[in-house]
């Protein structure tokens, strides 16, 4: 007999489920698991359908996500100008811009220290592309995932300074690297930290620590990935350069920041941050930019994967992103950043092919490791109880 609580609010079907809980008349998955929908206000869903002409299932899905009926269009087709915050709302952003401006104007040596994952690769590619548009190059250091591990280390930061870097910008890392930042300072370099990971109470002694997850940051942008934060940094930097007529005085075409949104979208998707608010716009607009395939690195990866048809976030998460990640997993962390920042189509093809080869090697290694693990588990199951480490 059906649960009396389940009867209230709607008629039951023969299977004991309420008819309105079905999705196109389907209550369960192929394996028999029941589909459970988010709770949605019938009144709101009806208003959404009435206002927009959307099908009832879509209207109900939007209502279950608390989408305001008056803002459905903004949710379905978000525009960057509607949600892009003033970067200055982030603590230390203005200080970071002031220091970076000084480096640009005096053509100081600038180095990047970026994480080895896709978020780090995309963040560093954004900065490299921006500086190249100004006619300046920056050195990019990405640590070896296996030999050095995550984040700036004392020796690597000191070496960047000794090699001549006046300013080091950390991307997708650095907020916990107090000792490494101190080492860079002692060797003569100043440091700007651009990171989105949870910050400790005691921040590193950097010129600026820009991080929406600082304990004292009120910006409410804690869910953006490092590439999204880096984009805001470049928006602020671009604004400052425009205000002082940097481009006009030098006859330079300003960097095409909107044209870099495909790179931002990739990092956002691959870092698995919630696709809400600004992140949602980054990905939505980034996919539109991707349709042009103007970035030589992106285009080369597409040719390798054979990706065609409608572009969705899955193109980043399952086609392009894993190949970028393969470089660091197989000991060549630098390739992803180089690929996404190059303007040379032939160089892009070489790097994309190398990443595809490394990705095949990675899959083979993972398959062999899994095979060995299963064998060991079967051989020792009577001796050692299984232990799950997640």
At residue 70, the pLDDT reads 87
On whether both 40 and 138 belong to a single domain, the answer is no
SS3 169: strand
Q: Does 192 fall in a domain?
A: yes
Burial of 150-187, coded b for 16+ CB within 10 Å and e otherwise, reads bbbbbebbbbbbeeebbbbbbbbbbbbbbebbbbbbeb
At residue 2, the pLDDT reads 38
| Closest of 289, 284, 235 to residue 259, by C-alpha | 289
At residue 280, the pLDDT reads 95
On whether both 260 and 226 belong to a single domain, the answer is yes
At residue 178, the pLDDT reads 98
Q: What backbone torsions phi and psi does residue 228 show, to the nearest 5 degrees?
A: -65, -40
Q: How many domains does the chain have?
A: 2
On whether both 15 and 51 belong to a single domain, the answer is yes
On whether both 211 and 319 belong to a single domain, the answer is yes
On whether both 39 and 121 belong to a single domain, the answer is no
On whether both 247 and 275 belong to a single domain, the answer is yes
Beta pairing partners, 38 = none
What is the distance between the alpha carbons of residues 146 and 69, in angstroms, rounded to a whole number?
A: 50
Q: Does 168 fall in a domain?
A: yes
Q: Does 74 fall in a domain?
A: yes
On whether both 294 and 165 belong to a single domain, the answer is yes
Which residues touch 63 (CB under 8 Å, ≥6 apart)?
40, 41, 44, 45, 48
User: Where do runs of H (alpha helix) occur along the chain?
Assistant: 4-7, 42-52, 56-64, 72-76, 80-83, 93-105, 118-133, 154-162, 178-186, 226-243, 246-250, 261-270, 277-290, 296-305, 314, 321-329, 335-341, 345-380
Q: Does 361 fall in a domain?
A: no
At residue 137, the pLDDT reads 96
Q: Does 384 fall in a domain?
A: no
| Closest of 347, 255, 270, 278 to residue 316, by C-alpha | 270
Q: Does 377 fall in a domain?
A: no
Q: Which domain holds residue 273?
A: 87-347
On whether both 200 and 285 belong to a single domain, the answer is yes
On whether both 11 and 150 belong to a single domain, the answer is no
On whether both 13 and 145 belong to a single domain, the answer is no
On whether both 103 and 48 belong to a single domain, the answer is no
On whether both 95 and 34 belong to a single domain, the answer is no
Whether the CB-CB separation of 28 and 53 falls below 8 Å is answered with no
Check which CATH number belongs to the domain holding 200 and give it: 3.90.1640.30
At residue 41, the pLDDT reads 76
At residue 101, the pLDDT reads 99
Mean pLDDT by 10 residues, the chain (390 residues): 38 47 64 73 86 88 86 85 95 99 98 98 99 98 95 98 99 98 99 98 98 95 98 99 98 97 98 94 96 96 86 92 94 97 98 96 91 84 69
At residue 3, the pLDDT reads 40
| Closest of 221, 216, 183 to residue 200, by C-alpha | 216
At residue 23, the pLDDT reads 57
CA–CA–CA angle 282, 287, 292 (5° rounding)? 130
């Amino acid at each position: 007999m059906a649960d009396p609580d389940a009867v209230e609010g709607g008629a039951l079907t023969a299977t004991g489920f309420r008819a309105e809980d079905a999705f196109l008349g389907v209550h369960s998955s192929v394996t028999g698991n029941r589909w459970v929908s988010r709770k949605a206000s019938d009144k709101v869903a009806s208003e959404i359908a009435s206002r927009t002409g959307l099908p009832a299932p879509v209207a109900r899905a939007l209502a279950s996500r608390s989408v305001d009926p008056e803002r459905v269009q903004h949710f379905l087709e978000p525009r960057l100008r509607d949600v892009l915050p003033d970067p200055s709302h982030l603590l230390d952003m203005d200080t970071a811009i002031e220091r970076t401006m000084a480096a640009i104007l005096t053509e100081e040596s600038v180095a990047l220290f970026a994480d080895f994952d896709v978020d780090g690769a995309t963040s560093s590619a954004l900065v490299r592309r921006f500086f190249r548009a100004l006619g300046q190059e920056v050195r990019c250091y990405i640590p070896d995932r296996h030999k050095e591990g995550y984040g700036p280390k004392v020796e690597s930061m000191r070496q960047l300074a000794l090699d001549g870097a006046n300013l080091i910008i950390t991307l997708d890392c650095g907020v916990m690297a107090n000792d490494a930042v101190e080492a860079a300072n002692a060797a003569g370099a100043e440091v700007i930290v651009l990171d989105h990971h949870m910050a400790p109470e005691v921040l590193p002694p950097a010129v600026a620590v820009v991080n929406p997850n600082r304990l004292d940051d009120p910006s409410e942008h804690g869910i953006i990935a490092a590439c999204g934060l880096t984009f805001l940094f470049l928006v602020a930097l671009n604004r400052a350069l425009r205000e002082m007529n940097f481009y006009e005085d030098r006859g330079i075409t300003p960097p095409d920041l909107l044209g870099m949104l495909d790179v931002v979208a990739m990092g956002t998707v691959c870092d698995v941050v919630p696709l809400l608010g600004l992140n949602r716009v980054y990905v939505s607009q980034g996919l539109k930019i991707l349709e042009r395939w103007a970035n030589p690195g992106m285009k080369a990866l597409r040719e390798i994967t054979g990706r065609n048809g409608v572009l969705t976030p899955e193109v980043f998460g399952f086609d392009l992103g894993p190949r970028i990640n393969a470089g660091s997993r197989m000991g060549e962390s630098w390739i992803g950043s180089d690929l996404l920042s190059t303007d040379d189509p032939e160089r892009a093809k070489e790097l994309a092919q190398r990443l595809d080869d490394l990705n095949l090697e990675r899959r083979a290694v993972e398959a062999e490791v899994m095979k060995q693990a299963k064998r060991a588990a079967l051989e020792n199951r009577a001796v050692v109880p299984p232990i799950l480490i997640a």
